[in-house]
Amino acid sequence: MLDPNHLFDITVIGGGPVGMFAAYYAGMRKADVQIIESLPELGGQVATLYPEKEIFDVAGFKGITGAQLTANLAEQLAVFEPTTQLETSVKAILPQEDGTYILETSKGTTHTRGVLIAVGNGAFTPRKLAVDYQPEWENNYIHYFAKEMAQFKDQTVAVAGGGDSAIDWALMLEKVAKQVYIIHRRDQFRGLESSVDALMNSSIQIKTPFLIDGLTEVDHQLALSLNKMKSTDQEQLVVDKLLVNYGFISDTRILRDWGLTLNHHQVSVNQQMATNLPNVYAIGDIATYPGKVKLIASGFGEAPVAVTELLTKLYPEKRQPLHSTSIM
């Protein structure tokens, strides 16, 4: 429950990897911090979009899955037990005369001195299949996230899509599924050369250039009607599961009303990660500046910069040690 009478030092909007680390870091710097996340769980894109995919460019890990990285971040975050509001979307940030902010959320208001915006690509939803199907087929036959590989074990699975993620998912599924198909509307895949090579040398059956133009349920399986592009040729493919990877639609429109200076759909920040609003900072995928690289590692670096700068603004009289070895 949100307590409208509690004045937090820092509210982190968005509980993706960058927001989680920022909240931890703010806790370590002894700030009274809360984290507000619109989804039912923390972890952002890493936990929701690719939990079982391995990430190779987070410092200190040769390779780590999205799920494991999220679990590690959650364990670290728990050290300072920040107030965590899940399934709560921030709708507006309202500047007050005393320099604080009231945040309007889907579950009431909350009061804070400083704000760290870490909303990533905004609220994201998968781009869905453009064919009619029964809603209950979702999560039964049709999946837009591959959360657990176990659910595809010994199944016949079709992956729809031709980008990096679709190829990666097909290659991961090949290890557990009975048979994997990949359906793409073009002959060429848009993946990394090494991934496309791995695909071509795998047991995955490639269906190109085909588009799914109909779905029916047949004996507890899903029959896909495949239309060959630029022709009238049709094929049918019967599978246990269909994993659709047509990308995601992210919605940052809400930010337009927050009084922030935006650059396309991202929040412009300076070298200290400060936005144009006093005591409002942006970090992670949502923040942009010259040379910005949208990576977890960049966001992890931006968090301490923003927290340090914000705490200096909020408490100029306090000098805090910077090294965790001196704090903990």
Ligand X SMILES: Cc1cc2nc3c(=O)[nH]c(=O)nc-3n(C[C@H](O)[C@H](O)[C@H](O)COP(=O)(O)OP(=O)(O)OC[C@H]3O[C@@H](n4cnc5c(N)ncnc54)[C@H](O)[C@@H]3O)c2cc1C
Q: Given the rule CB under 6 A, which residues bind ligand X?
A: 13-19, 36-39, 44-46, 49-50, 55, 57, 89-90, 118-123, 165, 254, 284-285, 294-297, 299
Whichever of 9 and 37 has its CB closer to ligand X, that residue is 37
Return the SS3 of 84. strand
| Distance of closest approach, residue 302 Cβ to ligand X, in angstroms | 9
Calpha distance 85→49 (Å, rounded): 21
Whichever of 38 and 112 has its CB closer to ligand X, that residue is 38
Alpha helix (H) residue ranges in 99-210: 164-174, 193-200
| Distance of closest approach, residue 64 Cβ to ligand X, in angstroms | 10
Calpha distance 305→21 (Å, rounded): 12
Q: What is the phi/psi pair of residue 135, to 5°?
A: -55, -35
Whichever of 118 and 173 has its CB closer to ligand X, that residue is 118
Whichever of 102 and 123 has its CB closer to ligand X, that residue is 123
Strand partners, 244: 160
Whichever of 45 and 226 has its CB closer to ligand X, that residue is 45
Calpha distance 62→243 (Å, rounded): 28
- 176 burial class (0-12, 13-18, 19+ CB within 10 angstroms)? middle
How many CB atoms neighbour CB 5 within 10 A?
7
| Distance of closest approach, residue 41 Cβ to ligand X, in angstroms | 8
| Distance of closest approach, residue 307 Cβ to ligand X, in angstroms | 14
Q: Are the C-beta atoms of residues 85 and 99 closer than 8 Å to each other?
A: no
Whichever of 226 and 296 has its CB closer to ligand X, that residue is 296
| Distance of closest approach, residue 183 Cβ to ligand X, in angstroms | 19
| Distance of closest approach, residue 77 Cβ to ligand X, in angstroms | 13
Q: Are the C-beta atoms of residues 103 and 110 closer than 8 Å to each other?
A: yes
The helix or strand, by DSSP H or E, that contains position 25, with its residue range, turns out to be helix 17-28
